[in-house]
């Protein structure tokens, strides 16, 4: 079976990936890509590099890797850049993060040293535990600590993006947020529901409702770059940004990389739901000792993460579908900062289920994971796939990327629900790829 002609543009030239944040996740991602293209490491866990999608049925059935199905950017064509509050280059930051062994960083030391973070658009009120000084200052005042207005931030970030693109000779760009989780910014109808109101708030320097991350997203979209939100920040998950993404014809995705405990939850909850077992409670706790854990130790920052982590179960095990099984289950998520473990997070899940005639049972899951090792392939896949989406002319929220995200964006103003069920998300991903590859979307079992 031959695919139909599609309008997806080829992945020619260089793809610039500008990362907000030069911390554990960002440096593990960049180092892995640089090592993989020297043939010194394998990009394990990356769907774009390993997964295969079935196309056709019966005798015509074939399994194609993603780059056989759609034109994806090659790892060799990626150029990295970043912004961070701290001035250390990517080599120094990778060493500091202590995720990777020195022997896995040294072979690409030169390349990493060239990646020097641009000054961050930062407001300490959004991440109090950070105190780096590589931050943008207002050009309109002499005071040395002057935080630029939100609109100045946007203008400076736009300039950064344009200069990077030109200096590195990039054909296309993607902006990925892998910076700290900001404090919780509740959605405000007056400010966040229309682009006009959002722009007015930025111009009036409304520091309460406009998080710095919104300035990055706004600048990216206006400069013609797709934007991915890897933290749980509400940044692009507001109608004003959806409007901007439509106007600029740019794809957006978010929020919060789905890596450790939530990956397990979204894969495990379907077992309970599919077998029609009941749920009394699900208690999830973690210990984590990296800088991410330090920032999340502040209650206002943890609140952003909590909202994101809690949303997973609600759409998989629903009381309205099965009142006997899922009414009023207790769901609790905790993260505890515990420095000795650094990036090697340990998570525990205690799940209280019930079966035949309401007899109780328990399931315990103890995942000793490595946070950034799980996040790096997700960063790669999101960047390559959102670049593909842009070349395919797709704009606005890319729901097919929900597979990679803990709290997938969806149009809540229209009562739309997020899809959190891992296997449904995988089907959405494969179908979008089939369509962009000129094949028919289908749900046949693989």
Ligand X SMILES: NC(=O)c1ccc[n+]([C@@H]2O[C@H](COP(=O)([O-])OP(=O)(O)OC[C@H]3O[C@@H](n4cnc5c(N)ncnc54)[C@H](O)[C@@H]3O)[C@@H](O)[C@H]2O)c1
Cβ atoms of residues 183 and 301 within 8 Å: yes
CA–CA separation, 280 and 84 (whole Å): 43
Contact segment (CB under 6 A) with ligand X among 23-31, 241-249, 347-355, 430-438 equals 23-31
State the residue for tokens 């950034």. 372
Give the residue, chosen from 17, 25, 72, 433, that forms a contact with ligand X under the rule CB under 6 A. 25
Subset of 169-228 contacting ligand X (CB under 6 A): 178-181, 212
Phi and psi dihedrals of 31, rounded to 5?
-60, -40
24 scored as a contact of ligand X (CB under 6 A): yes
33 scored as a contact of ligand X (CB under 6 A): no
Subset of 293-322 contacting ligand X (CB under 6 A): none
Residue 44: CB atoms within 10 A of its CB come to 12
Residues 6+ away with beta carbon under 8 Å from 424: none
Nearer to ligand X, 60 or 131 (CB): 131
Read off the DSSP letter of residue 209.
T
Number of residues that bind ligand X (CB under 6 A): 36
Residue 257 Cβ vs ligand X, minimum distance, rounded to whole Å: 4
Q: Which residues of 257-269 are buried (b: 16+ CB within 10 A; e: fewer)?
A: bbbbbbbbbbebb
Q: Strand 278-288 relative to strand 78-84: parallel, antiparallel, unpaired? A: unpaired
Give the residue, chosen from 374, 388, 401, 418, that forms a contact with ligand X under the rule CB under 6 A. 374
State the residue for tokens 């973070």. 117
> What are the residues facing 347 on neighbouring strands?
286, 367
Residue 444 Cβ vs ligand X, minimum distance, rounded to whole Å: 32
CA–CA separation, 313 and 328 (whole Å): 12
Q: Which residue of the chain is nearest ligand X when measured via CB? A: 23
Give the residue, chosen from 291, 421, 430, 434, that forms a contact with ligand X under the rule CB under 6 A. 291
Give the residue, chosen from 214, 375, 380, 385, that forms a contact with ligand X under the rule CB under 6 A. 375
Subset of 74-113 contacting ligand X (CB under 6 A): 83-86, 97
Subset of 323-352 contacting ligand X (CB under 6 A): none
> What are the residues facing 361 on neighbouring strands?
353
Residue 94 Cβ vs ligand X, minimum distance, rounded to whole Å: 10
Residue 117 Cβ vs ligand X, minimum distance, rounded to whole Å: 7
What does each C-alpha distance from 238 to 209, 304, 371, 397, 424 come to in angstroms?
A: 12, 15, 27, 11, 24
Give the residue, chosen from 49, 234, 259, 284, that forms a contact with ligand X under the rule CB under 6 A. 259
Residues that bind ligand X (CB under 6 A): 20-26, 83-86, 97, 120-122, 127, 130, 132, 178-181, 212, 230-231, 256-257, 259-260, 290-292, 371-372, 374-375
């Amino acid at each position: 079976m031959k695919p139909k002609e599609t309008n997806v543009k080829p992945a020619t030239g260089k793809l610039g990936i500008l990362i907000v944040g030069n911390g554990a996740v960002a440096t593990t991602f960049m180092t892995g890509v640089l090592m993989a293209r020297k043939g010194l490491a394998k990009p394990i866990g990356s769907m774009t590099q390993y997964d295969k999608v079935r196309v056709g049925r019966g005798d015509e059935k074939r399994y194609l890797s993603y780059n056989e199905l759609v034109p994806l950017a090659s790892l060799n064509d990626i150029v990295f850049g970043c912004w961070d509050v701290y001035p250390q280059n990517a080599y120094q930051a990778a060493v500091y993060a202590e995720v990777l062994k020195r022997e896995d960083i040294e072979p690409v030391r030169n390349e990493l040293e060239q990646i020097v973070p641009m000054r961050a658009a930062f407001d300490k009120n959004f991440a109090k535990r950070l105190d780096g000084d590589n931050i943008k200052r207002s050009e309109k005042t002499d005071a040395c600590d002057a935080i630029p207005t939100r609109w100045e931030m946007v203008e400076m970030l736009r300039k950064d993006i344009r200069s990077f693109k030109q200096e590195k000779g990039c054909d296309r760009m993607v902006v990925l947020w892998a910076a700290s989780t900001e404090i919780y910014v509740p959605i405000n109808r007056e400010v966040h529901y229309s682009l006009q109101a959002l722009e007015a708030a930025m111009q009036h320097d409304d520091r309460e409702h406009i998080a710095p991350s919104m300035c990055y997203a706004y600048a990216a979209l206006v400069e013609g770059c797709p934007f991915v939100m890897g933290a749980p920040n509400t940044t692009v998950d507001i109608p004003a940004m959806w409007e901007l993404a439509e106007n600029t014809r740019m794809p957006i995705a978010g929020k919060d990389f789905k890596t450790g405990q939530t990956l397990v939850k979204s894969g495990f909850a379907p077992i309970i739901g599919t077998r029609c077992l009941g749920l009394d409670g699900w208690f999830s706790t973690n210990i984590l000792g990296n800088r991410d854990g330090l920032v999340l130790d502040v209650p206002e920052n943890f609140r952003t993460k909590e909202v994101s982590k809690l949303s997973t179960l609600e759409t998989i095990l629903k009381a309205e579908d099965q009142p006997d099984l899922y009414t009023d289950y207790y769901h609790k998520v905790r993260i505890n900062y515990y420095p000795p473990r650094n990036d090697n997070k340990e998570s525990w899940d205690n799940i209280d289920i019930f079966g035949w005639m309401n007899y109780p049972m328990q399931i315990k899951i103890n995942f000793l994971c490595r946070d950034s090792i799980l996040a790096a392939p997700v960063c790669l896949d999101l960047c390559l796939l959102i670049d593909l989406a842009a070349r395919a002319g797709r704009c606005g929220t890319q729901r097919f990327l929900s597979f990679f995200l803990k709290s997938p964006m969806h149009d809540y103003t229209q009562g739309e629900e997020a899809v959190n069920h891992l296997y449904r998300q995988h089907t959405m991903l494969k179908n979008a790829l089939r369509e962009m590859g000129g094949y028919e979307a289908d749900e046949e079992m693989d």
